[in-house]
Amino acid sequence: MLERRHDRLLPRRNFLKRQARYTAAAGGVIVASLGAGVLGYHGIEHLSWVDALLNASFILTGMGPVDPVKSTAGKLFASAYAVFSGIAFLTTIGILVTPLVHRLLHRFHIEESQERSTSQD
């Protein structure tokens, strides 16, 4: 859980631990997304495991498919996986930057609160 508005800023060591946990979660999203793509390409389009990994990796990174998709089911899967990959990319970025953005905003809030308290004295 992230600290609340009136809590002190988290010590750097604890922040780095939090960032590591969020990075691991983002890695989990990537691994799960890649796994879904590999299974889909292997099962639906009957690509070898290595070719399925290559295609899923390229789609997930936004580069596009390597092998031409032949079947209608494969085309539907590739379309859905491409849309999913865009969402997975945005989700991964959101997970990665959450602790950083929160710390930055929390620090500004603390500084603003301190300025208000000194101006009211």
Residue ranges per structural domain of the chain: 26-113
Instruction: Estimate to the nearest angstrom the gap between the alpha carbon of 18 and the chain centroid.
Output: 15
- Kindly report the length of the chain: 121
Instruction: With 0.85 as the threshold, say if the pTM is over it.
Output: no
Task: Tell me which of 1.10.287.70, 1.20.1090.10, 1.10.150.110, 3.20.20.105 is the CATH number of domain 26-113.
Answer: 1.10.287.70
**How large is the average pLDDT for residues 22-45?**
97
Q: Are 31 and 112 in contact, with CB atoms under 8 Å apart?
A: no
pLDDT above 70: residue 116: no
Q: How far apart are CA 103 and CA 3, in angstroms?
A: 9
pLDDT digits (tens, 9 = 90+) for 38-49: 999 999 999 999
DSSP-derived letter for residue 59 is H
